[in-house]
Amino acid sequence: MNASRPIRTPAELVDTGLAATRDLPGIEAVAERYAIAISPAMAALIDRHDPSDPIARQFVPDPAELNVTPDERADPIGDLAHSPVEGIVHRYPDRVLLKAVHVCPVYCRFCFRREMVGPQGLGTLSPEAMDRAFSYIADHPEVWEVILTGGDPLVLSPRRLGEITARLAAIDHVKIVRFHTRVPVVEPERIDEALISALKASGKTTYVALHANHSRELTPEARAACARLVDAGIAMISQSVLLKGVNDDADTLAALMRAFVETRVKPYYLHHPDLAPGTSHFRLSIEEGRALMASLRGRISGLCQPTYILDIPGGYGKAVIGPDALRADGGSITVSDFKGGEHAYPPSE
Ligand code: SF4
């Protein structure tokens, strides 16, 4: 049975065939702590006969989420340490995050901000907090780029998004407005003319960073939604999380990156999963991640290559974690090719 509206409760998971009655107690225990939402588009994509379905794994609660390991933390990438005013994260000199809303159309079970999003989360910025956030941006001429994230900013109405982009358009030193979202994939019908127009800030360049983790998420409807954005002059890049049981093999990653490129979405970041509470069942080791990235080299076009990224716990920012094609040893340099062959540079003869 498919849902016609988002699935939000353990009972609805059972009613729609996404969970068995015997799983209810475990799922209810998770639901007391973390929000649940599965959009109709994602619910329809889940294969009820596949116990390892990679779409289900991203959205259907798992009692394993109650196992919190000692290295996990509520604010894994250290947003709070870099938040000068409510709603702003200013970690790098030339850009800020503006977290206007902490609501999402789906709740990902591996979310790095799972302690902040959802009905029990940080909510939506009040008008007064929004004023303070815009004042902060206006008072910091080094801010070249504003990244709307959250939560998912595209859950806001076109009217409210339009207010935000109009206020950013009025700040001269802001040149780039970037939205981080899952909406084109999970609720593609929301990407209509009014919303697209609201994303554009007059005189600025708009980027949309699309979060998707498996090629099946790029349905014909999702691809059409992306085409509407790109045809309207909005540049698109991708963000994915490397997740055990979802995309942790070279064929799946290659298919995902190709699907992005076919959709005119440039692969940007492949994130190593963050140390969010109750997500250890999604994590693989960095060495496993580097080996997967190495296997993508040569296998898929350079256009399809994402950058493998670790957000250093504690708020120290992102680090590119490989794999490295180059090894420096004393005065000599060795470069490895895409088949693993090693070559001195410059060549000795
Ligand atoms: S859409 Fe983003 S912020 Fe929302 S639950 Fe998923 S990963 Fe977290």
Residue 260 region by backbone torsions, left for phi larger than 0, else alpha for psi between -120 and 50, else beta: alpha
Average pLDDT rounded to a whole number, residues 306-323: 95
The reported pLDDT for the residue numbered 2 is: 55
Residue 91 is a catalytic residue: yes
Annotation says 311 is catalytic: yes
Provide the pLDDT for residue 248: 98
Distance 160 CA to ligand 1 centre (A): 20
Residue 182 Cα: closest atom of ligand 1: 1
Q: Which of 60-74, 172-186, 242-256, 314-328 has the lowest mean pLDDT?
A: 314-328
Active site residue 131: no
Q: State percent of the chain over pLDDT 70.
A: 99
Long-range contacts of 67-75 (CB under 8 A, 24+ apart): 67/278, 67/280, 67/281, 68/277, 68/278, 69/280, 71/275, 72/275, 72/276, 72/277, 72/278, 72/279, 72/280, 73/275, 73/276, 73/277, 73/313, 74/115, 74/277, 75/115, 75/116
**Is-catalytic flag, 228?**
no
Q: Return d(Cα 276, Cα 167) in angstroms, integer.
A: 33
The whole-number pLDDT of residue 329 equals 85
DSSP secondary structure of 208-231 = EEEE--SGGGS-HHHHHHHHHHHH
The radius of gyration of the chain from alpha carbons, rounded to an integer in Å, stands at: 21
The region of weakest confidence among 18-27, 112-121, 169-178, 249-258 is 112-121
User: Mutation test of ligand 1: which of 8, 108, 122, 149 has the most ligand atoms closer than 8 Å to its C-beta?
Assistant: 108
Question: Per residue in 254-275, pLDDT tens?
Answer: 999 999 999 999 999 999 999 9
Distance 191 CA to ligand 1 centre (A): 18
Tell how far the Cα of 333 is from the centroid of ligand 1, in angstroms: 42
Give domain limits for the chain.
10-62, 80-326
Residue written as tokens 């920012």?
317
Average pLDDT, the chain: 96
b/e map of 109-127 (b: 16 or more CB within 10 Å)? bbbbbbbbbbeebbebbee
> What pLDDT shows up at residue 122?
87
The pLDDT value recorded for residue 120 is 81
Nearest residue (by CA) to ligand 1, atom 6, is 108
Query: Is 304 labeled as catalytic in the residue annotation?
Result: no
Q: Which of 158, 154, 138 is nearest to 146 (CA)?
A: 138
Given this model, what pLDDT does residue 291 score? 96
What integer pLDDT is reported at residue 3 of this predicted model?
64
Q: Whose CA is nearest to atom 8 of ligand 1?
A: 111
Encode pLDDT of 80-97 as tens digits: 899 999 999 999 999 999
Active site residue 113: yes
User: What is the bridge-based pairing of β-strands 176-181 and 145-149?
Assistant: parallel
Q: Annotated catalytic residue: which of 8, 33, 73, 95?
A: 95
197: enclosing H helix or E strand: helix 193-199
Separation between Cα atoms, residue 255 and residue 280, nearest integer Å: 25
Q: Which residues line ligand 1 (CB under 6 A)?
A: 104, 107-108, 111, 113, 117, 150-152, 182, 211
Q: What is the β-pairing status of strands 88-92 and 95-99? A: antiparallel
Distance from the alpha carbon of residue 57 to the mean position of ligand 1, in angstroms? 14
pLDDT, tens digit (0-9, with 9 covering 90-100), for 117-169 = 998 888 889 999 999 999 999 999 999 999 999 899 999 999 999 999 999 99
Q: What is the DSSP string of 137-180?
A: HHT-TT--EEEEESS-GGGS-HHHHHHHHHHHHT-TT--EEEEE
Q: Which CATH class is domain 80-326?
A: alpha beta
Instruction: Say yes or no to pLDDT of 24 above 90.
Output: yes
Q: How confident is the model at residue 296 (pLDDT cuts 50, 70, 90)?
A: very high
User: Which of 1-15, 39-53, 279-293 is the least confident region?
Assistant: 1-15
In three-state secondary structure terms, 256 is helix
